Amino acid sequence: MKKKKNFTSERERKLWIWALMVLIAIYATLFFGGQLIDYMIERRIIEQSTFYLFLVLILAFIFSGLKSSGKRLEYWIYAGVIAVYGMAMLRMDLTTAERSHMFEYGLLSILIYEALIERRLNGVNVKFPVFTSIMAAGTIGLLDEFIQLFIPYRVFDFVDIGFNYLASAFGVLISFGVKKLRLIFTNWTRK
């Protein structure tokens, strides 16, 4: 009897592992994240750390694009979109927790989406990867909120559920949009 493979490629396996790591990090904050955020706010370092983490994210995209000449344009587009996305979030009247939801669930949905696209590229029939990614990441956020019902110092919040789904949609739509922009730019430069 032939053993069934769980992953269609090494890239897909890595994407699912990264998605699992993000999921673990999100759920780990249920138990100690509140105290850490409170400490950072008291010490007035939350904005600085958010800025530096954002800068690291942009630099990671740029440097990963430099090693892959075929996707260099795509990585520069990602860096630009992330910069615009981050600046828009900074101008919005959001709490630190709401901003973190935007990054956490946006990243999670991108990883799920990219893993599903990789499966599709390798011959597996994946229907509606955009919708599936948004719903999967958003539902993980919904479960996150329900778990908070049972943790004394955490608060269940319907607004956070909405932010989780919104962040998931932003993440996937950014990834989808960047791929489309790369195709448009590539076709435009060939003419």
Q: Is residue 137 part of a domain?
A: yes
Q: Is residue 190 part of a domain?
A: no
Domain count, the chain: 1
Q: What is the pLDDT of residue 102?
A: 76
Query: pLDDT digit string (tens) for 49-73?
Result: 666 666 666 565 555 545 555 566 6
What's the domain range around 114?
A: 10-27+45-184
C-beta atoms surrounding 84 within 10 Å: 11
With H, G, I as helix, E, B as strand and everything else as coil, classify residue 149. Answer: coil
Q: Is residue 1 part of a domain?
A: no
Pairwise CA distance, residues 105 & 8, whole Å: 24
Mean pLDDT rounded to a whole number for the chain: 77
| The dihedral formed by the CA atoms of 142, 145, 149 and 154, expressed in degrees to the nearest 10 | 180
Q: Confidence class of residue 141 from pLDDT cuts 50, 70 and 90?
A: very high
Q: Which amino acid is at 12?
A: E
Q: Is residue 170 part of a domain?
A: yes
Q: Is residue 36 part of a domain?
A: no
Q: Is residue 32 part of a domain?
A: no
What is the value of pTM for the model shown?
0.75
Residue closest to 29 by CA, chosen among 105, 90, 115: 105
Q: Is residue 87 part of a domain?
A: yes
How buried is residue 125: exposed, middle or buried, by Cβ count under 10 Å (0-12/13-18/19+)? exposed
Q: Is residue 166 part of a domain?
A: yes
Cα separation values, 138 from 83, 95, 124, 160, Å: 23, 19, 23, 10
Lowest-pLDDT range, 30-39, 140-149, 155-164?
A: 30-39
Contact in structure between 141 and 105 (CB atoms under 8 Å): yes
